Structure 1
Amino acid sequence: MNLGPWGDLTIFAGMMAIVFATCVFVYITRLERRTSHPMGEQVGAHKAVLAKIRKREPLTRDEFDYASELVADARSPLAYAIPAALFTTGFFYVVGCLFMLHLNGGHPSFRTFIGGIPMLTSMNIAAQLRRVAGIKRKLTDIPVLESESTEPLTAVGSK
């Protein structure tokens, strides 16, 4: 059976969405099973720690360990399955609409390209993951203070 290019792309996008959704499930299951760092419970801690690294400020041992965990999570290949699943879902919607229009002889409308929104969003998520993963180089040069800080981290931009 020949479905044409839009039909073939729709089937391919559907299969890839299932594959990436499975990878997301595996990744999230791994994250849930491990013991999380205590700093992960503080609101805004990740943003504050990453800001300190970008400014090359010294970190406490807890902050360094938490930052290392954040970078390791962002560097995991399975982490990129999240934006990939979102992208393929939007792609599935767009090519599915184009396939149906091709069968019925219609013309694309704005509704056809609504799937572009999750596709653009997924690219932003992937860029954010790359940005955090790239901090690994800076993390090796950051001085680590052995004395523990008793004050909790304050979120960036708050007083």
Structure 2
Amino acid sequence: MNLGPWGDLTILAAVLEIVLATCVFVYIGRLERRTSHPLGDQVGAHKRVLAKVRKREPLSQDEFDYASELVADARAPLAYAIPAALFTIGFFYVVGCLFMLHLDGGNPSFRTFIGGIPMLTSMNIAGQLRRVAGMKSKLRDIPVSQTADTDRLTSVRYE
């Protein structure tokens, strides 16, 4: 059976999406099974800690451990399965629409290319992961103090 190039690409995208979704579930499962860092429960802690790393400001030991965890998570190869799966969903939508239009003999409309939105979004996510992963070298050079900055580590708990 010959489906043409759009049909072949649609099938390839579907198979690739299944593989990438499996990788995403494995990665998320690993993250859920480990014990979380106490700073991870605070709203905005990751943004604050990564900003300090970016500016090469001194970190407390807790902040350094949390930043190391964030960088290690971003460097994990399975982390890139998330934006890849999102990209593949958009690709599947676009080539699937083009395949259906090819069968019907229609012309592409704006609706055909709506799948480009998740594709662009996935590239932004991959770029963010790369930026965080690139902080590994900065993290090595940052001074670590043994005292915790208690004013900045206080959290609000909603119970």
User: Shorter-normalised TM-score: what interval?
Assistant: over 0.9
1:41-86 alpha-carbon deviations (Å, 9 max, x no partner): 0000000000001111000000000000000000000000000000
Distance (Å, rounded) in 2 between the aligned partners of 1:99 and 1:151: 58
Number of the residue aligned with 1:26: 26
Distance (Å, rounded) in 2 between the aligned partners of 1:9 and 1:58: 50
Distance (Å, rounded) in 1 between the aligned partners of 2:62 and 2:71: 14
TM-score of the superposed pair, with normalisation by structure 1: 0.95
Distance (Å, rounded) in 1 between the aligned partners of 2:93 and 2:73: 29
Distance (Å, rounded) in 1 between the aligned partners of 2:75 and 2:153: 24
- Consecutive unaligned residues in structure 1, runs of 5 or more: 155-159
Contact preservation (8 Å) 1:48, 1:153? no
Number of the residue aligned with 1:99: 99
Q: Which amino acid aligns with 2:142?
A: I
Shift of 1:152: 2.6
Q: How many residues align?
A: 154
Number of the residue aligned with 1:157: none
1:76-155 alignment to 2 at 5 Å?
Answer: 76-153=76-153
Following TM superposition, where does structure 1 have runs of at least 4 consecutive aligned residues deviating by more than 3 angstroms?
A: none
Distance (Å, rounded) in 1 between the aligned partners of 2:85 and 2:37: 27
Distance (Å, rounded) in 2 between the aligned partners of 1:94 and 1:47: 34
1:94-151 alpha-carbon deviations (Å, 9 max, x no partner): 0000000000000000000000000000000000000000000000000000122222
- Consecutive unaligned residues in structure 2, runs of 5 or more: 155-159
Number of the residue aligned with 1:66: 66
Distance (Å, rounded) in 1 between the aligned partners of 2:53 and 2:89: 34
Number of the residue aligned with 2:9: 9
TM-score of the superposed pair, with normalisation by structure 2: 0.95
Root-mean-square deviation over aligned CA pairs: 0.9
